[in-house]
């Protein structure tokens, strides 16, 4: 189970970068119009275990909040894709993946480095 925090305000991006100094953060960029995005989100949620409690996990509806998605790409220097996960530790991107490369195990490995 992932306790998603809705990412709906541009100001949250600054907060995420600050929070990542003490607790890893995950952003899932989700297209609510895309079946592949829904499948990737579902697969991630099924694979997640209690270890995901160690993350602040944010879910971005990029159809409704495209401005935030663009700001994430610019601020973190990660090319926009959908679906996409971005894992941040101490203000730095330690993992980003999209489509079928999204993996719960890879996320957990990235935060334990």
Q: Is the pLDDT of residue 19 over 80?
A: yes
Residue 56, φ and ψ in degrees, nearest 5: -90, 115
Q: Which domains does the chain have, with CATH numbers?
A: 4-111 (3.40.30.10)
**pLDDT at site 47:** 94
Q: Among residues of the chain, what percentage have pLDDT more than 90?
A: 96
- Cα 97 to Cα 113: distance, rounded to the nearest angstrom: 17
Reported as a pLDDT band with limits 50, 70 and 90, residue 1 is: confident
With bands split at pLDDT 50, 70 and 90, how would you rate the model's confidence at 113? Answer: low
Q: What is the pLDDT of residues 37-72, one digit of tens each?
A: 999 999 999 999 999 999 999 999 999 999 999 999
0.85 surpassed by pTM: yes
pLDDT of residue 24: 97
Nearest-10 Cα torsion for 70, 9, 3, 105: 20
What is the distance of C-alpha 106 from the center of its chain? 13
Distance CA(53)–CA(68), nearest Å, equals: 24
């Amino acid at each position: 189970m992932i306790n998603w925090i809705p990412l709906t305000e541009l100001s949250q991006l600054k907060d995420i970068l600050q929070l990542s100094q003490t607790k890893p953060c995950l952003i899932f960029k989700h297209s609510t119009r895309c079946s592949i995005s829904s499948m990737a989100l579902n697969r991630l949620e099924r694979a997640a275990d209690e270890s995901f409690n160690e993350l602040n996990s944010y879910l971005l509806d990029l159809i409704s909040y495209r401005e935030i998605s663009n700001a994430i790409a610019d601020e973190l220097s990660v090319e926009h894709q959908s679906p996409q996960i971005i894992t941040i530790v101490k203000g730095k991107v330690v993992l980003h993946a999209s489509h079928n490369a999204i993996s719960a195990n890879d996320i957990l490995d990235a935060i334990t480095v």
